[in-house]
């Protein structure tokens, strides 16, 4: 409880510089809708791409682990039966 909080004090010039940088950032991002739209669009694209690659890696690892333990006999039988039924329907 005896901790002393250090308070950072800024000079007037530092405060003005920080305010100018903030105003420039707001102007760059929010007042240019095309740039904001493009950034959000590409963030969505790359987010979806990253999620897809992540799921593929996880599923591949799960498949390798299952293969190492001898596979799942129930799934193998089901796929074999499905392979027989599909050509018979044509």
pLDDT tens per residue across span 14-69: 999 999 999 988 887 777 788 888 889 999 999 999 999 999 999 999 988 888 87
DSSP 31: S
- Cite the DSSP H helix spans in 1-90: 12-30, 33-68, 73-89
Res 21: pLDDT:
93
**Within a domain: 48:** yes
The answer to whether the pTM exceeds 0.85 is no
Can you give the residue range of the structural domain that contains 83?
Answer: 12-89
User: What are the C-alpha distances in Å from 48 to residues 19, 41, 52, 57?
Assistant: 35, 11, 6, 14
**Within a domain: 82:** yes
Q: Structural domain tally of the chain?
A: 1
């Amino acid at each position: 409880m005896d901790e002393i909080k250090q308070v950072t004090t800024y000079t007037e010039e530092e405060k003005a510089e920080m305010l100018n940088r903030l105003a420039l950032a707001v102007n760059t991002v929010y007042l240019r809708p095309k740039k904001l739209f493009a950034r959000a669009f590409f963030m969505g694209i790359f987010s979806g791409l990253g999620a897809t690659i992540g799921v593929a890696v996880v599923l591949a690892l799960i498949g390798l682990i299952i293969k190492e333990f001898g596979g799942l006999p129930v799934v193998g039988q089901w796929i074999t039966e499905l392979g027989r039924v599909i050509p018979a329907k044509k």
